[in-house]
Amino acid sequence: MTKAELIDEVRNAKGVDLTKKSTEEVVDAVFAALSTAIQKDKRFSYPGFGTFVVRERKARKGRNPKTREEIMIPASKTVAFKPAPKLKALIK
């Protein structure tokens, strides 16, 4: 799903009476708040949907696929998502 498709889905949801521009602003605000929460608290949880958490990756050895030369991949942080049981049940 693209951002435009998400905006259309939200706009067409039952009980929502917003313009396309207003809906886009709401969607952008939600994702901005989610990003801020993940940066600040290293975690964001939404009941019935799932949890986003910051995970740290250790430095490790890798291989350049083009030259086959061994390289060191530096430590980094990433965001992981763990779906709630309710969401997992919908995916089956």
1: confidence class by pLDDT, cuts 50, 70, 90: very high
**Predicted pLDDT of residue 46:** 95
**Predicted pLDDT of residue 22:** 94
pLDDT digits (tens, 9 = 90+) for 7-55: 999 998 888 889 999 999 999 999 999 999 999 999 999 999 999 999 9
75: confidence class by pLDDT, cuts 50, 70, 90: very high
CA separation for the pair 75, 73 (Å, rounded): 7
The class level of CATH for 42-92 reads few secondary structures
Determine contact, residues 48/86, Cβ cutoff 8 Å: yes
**Predicted pLDDT of residue 16:** 84
User: How many Å from the N-terminal Cα to the C-terminal Cα in the chain?
Assistant: 19
Helix (H) or strand (E) holding 43: strand 43-46
CA separation for the pair 1, 42 (Å, rounded): 26
